[in-house]
């Protein structure tokens, strides 16, 4: 069954096109990652799928409900967790969950079964009487997820749910999401963390409101524009600037203390060209061809689309 389908979905705000002709399909029980930098249009896509605004053009269906025509029916099948989920800081963990159960008219019998399960599910049982204001950032996100799940949604829309959360809490959050997949819950998650995108069955790279690439993480990596050369040297920032000026790469960037340089042509040609140029510059460095990460692919795609070959950070 199709859990989410969009056709030519477009949203403009004045002269700004936030979402540009988005067409995609998600299967039931799939986790899909919408990846992009700030301002790419991720939140607008989420709000459109949640039925919170009508699109300027195009259509979207979530679990068979048209997001505009069937907006009232839609809310029974989805949960939308925005970046700033509406927790009530002066209420306890238990009281927050009870409040959202009231909003969704969850029956008393269902609550008796569901809420203890959610508390255990998110490792929050021992904190049920703690005020939300006294929770860590990761615990607040897990509480927000428990609130979003209290009415057993079929589709979960998560807008950058782990933004600003520590790595351990991020791992716990994803562990919870994986368990939801066992119940055939469809998860549509937006993130700026490309390492998180690796956890998704499929991803879409969103740039300036337009889907520039989609597929499984491995399929996306196959769209790398050129060969990726990794360079380790004593002055990576200075060497990067020199290489960008001299070689006009498809893309280039600093990854920690290493340089990633993407050049047109096959791997052997790219590696030889870099070695020759480093020798011309009098730079001693270690070089090798490496497999691209999603970040490498995303940067190369964006730089190519903008006609620029550098990402000096």
What are the CB-based long-range contacts (under 8 Å, 24+) for 252-259? 252/309, 252/310, 252/311, 252/312, 253/296, 253/299, 253/311, 253/312, 253/313, 254/312, 254/313, 255/230, 255/295, 257/232, 258/230, 258/231, 258/232, 259/230, 259/231, 259/232, 259/233
Q: In sequence order, what DSSP letters do the residues of 43-99 get, joined into one string?
A: HHHHHHHTTSS--SEEEEEETTEETTTTHHHHTTTEEEE-SS----TTSBHHHHHHH
Rounded average pLDDT per 10-residue block, the chain, 313 residues: 95 96 96 93 96 97 96 92 89 95 91 90 91 92 92 93 84 88 94 89 95 93 88 96 92 90 91 96 96 85 64 42
- Is the distance from CB of 214 to CB of 205 less than 8 angstroms? yes
On whether both 155 and 119 belong to a single domain, the answer is yes
- State the total domains in the chain: 2
Give me the helix-helix angle, 108-121 and 137-148, nearest 10°. Answer: 150
Burial class for 232, CB neighbours closer than 10 Å (0-12, 13-18, 19+): middle
Please give the Cα distance from 309 to 109 (Å, whole number).
60
Q: Classify residue 167: in a domain, yes or no.
A: yes
| CB neighbour list of residue 168: distance below 8 Å, 6 or more residues apart | 138
On whether both 150 and 254 belong to a single domain, the answer is no
On whether both 193 and 231 belong to a single domain, the answer is no
CB count within 10 Å of CB 74 equals: 22
Q: Classify residue 157: in a domain, yes or no.
A: yes
**Could you tell me which of 182, 164, 162 has the C-alpha nearest to residue 172?**
162
| CB neighbour list of residue 217: distance below 8 Å, 6 or more residues apart | 197, 198, 200, 203, 294
| CB neighbour list of residue 222: distance below 8 Å, 6 or more residues apart | none
Domain boundary among 220, 235, 251: 220
Give me the helix-helix angle, 93-103 and 108-121, nearest 10°. Answer: 140
On whether both 179 and 124 belong to a single domain, the answer is yes
* SS3 at position 288: strand
On whether both 150 and 22 belong to a single domain, the answer is yes
On whether both 211 and 231 belong to a single domain, the answer is no
Q: Classify residue 312: in a domain, yes or no.
A: no
Q: How far is CA 163 from the centre of its chain?
A: 10
Domain containing 284: what range?
227-306
Q: How far is CA 219 from the centre of its chain?
A: 17
On whether both 216 and 231 belong to a single domain, the answer is no
On whether both 275 and 132 belong to a single domain, the answer is no
Structure tokens at 133: 């204001």
On whether both 252 and 216 belong to a single domain, the answer is no
Q: Classify residue 68: in a domain, yes or no.
A: yes
CATH of the domain at 117: 3.40.50.300
Q: Which residues pair with 252 in a beta bridge?
A: 261
Structure tokens at 36: 């992009």
Domain boundary among 184, 199, 220: 220
CATH of the domain at 294: 3.30.70.790
CB count within 10 Å of CB 130 equals: 15
Residue with tokens 């933004």: 163
Q: Which residues pair with 204 in a beta bridge?
A: 34, 214
DSSP tag of 131:
B
On whether both 177 and 200 belong to a single domain, the answer is yes
Q: How far is CA 201 from the centre of its chain?
A: 12
Q: Classify residue 313: in a domain, yes or no.
A: no
Domain boundary among 220, 255, 275: 220
Q: Classify residue 41: in a domain, yes or no.
A: yes
Burial class for 38, CB neighbours closer than 10 Å (0-12, 13-18, 19+): exposed
On whether both 200 and 77 belong to a single domain, the answer is yes
Q: Classify residue 311: in a domain, yes or no.
A: no
In which element (H, E) is residue 289 found? strand 286-289
On whether both 171 and 188 belong to a single domain, the answer is yes
Give me the phi and psi of 277, to 5 degrees please. -70, -40
Helix, strand, coil % over all residues of the chain, rounded to 5:
40, 30, 35
């Amino acid at each position: 069954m199709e859990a989410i389908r969009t056709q030519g979905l477009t949203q403009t705000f004045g002269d700004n096109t936030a979402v540009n002709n988005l067409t995609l399909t998600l299967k039931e029980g799939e986790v899909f990652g919408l990846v992009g930098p700030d301002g790419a249009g991720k939140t607008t896509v989420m709000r459109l799928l949640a039925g919170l605004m009508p699109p300027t053009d195009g259509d979207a269906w979530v679990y068979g409900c048209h997001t505009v025509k069937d907006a009232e029916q839609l809310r029974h099948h989805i949960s939308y967790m925005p970046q700033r989920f509406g927790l009530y800081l002066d209420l306890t963990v238990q009281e927050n969950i009870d409040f959202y159960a009231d909003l969704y008219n969850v029956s008393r019998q269902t609550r008796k079964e569901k809420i203890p399960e959610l508390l255990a599910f998110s490792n929050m049982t021992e904190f049920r009487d703690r005020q939300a204001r006294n929770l860590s950032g990761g615990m607040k996100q897990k509480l927000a997820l428990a609130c979003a799940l209290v009415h057993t949604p079929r589709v979960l829309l998560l807008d950058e749910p782990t933004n600003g959360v520590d790595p351990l809490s991020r791992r716990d959050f994803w562990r919870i999401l994986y368990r939801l997949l066992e119940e055939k819950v469809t998860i549509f998650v937006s993130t700026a963390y490309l390492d998180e995108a690796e956890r998704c069955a499929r991803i879409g790279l969103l740039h300036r409101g337009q889907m520039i690439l989609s597929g499984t993480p491995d399929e996306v990596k196959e769209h790398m524009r050129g060969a990726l050369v990794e360079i380790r040297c004593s002055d990576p920032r200075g060497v990067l600037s020199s290489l960008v000026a001299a070689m006009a790469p498809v893309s280039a960037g600093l990854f920690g203390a290493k340089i990633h340089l993407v050049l047109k042509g096959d791997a052997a040609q790219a590696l030889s060209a870099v070695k020759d140029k480093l020798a011309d510059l009098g730079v001693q460095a270690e070089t090798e061809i490496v497999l691209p990460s999603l970040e490498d692919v995303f940067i190369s795609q964006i730089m190519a689309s903008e006609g620029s070959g550098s990402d000096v950070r």
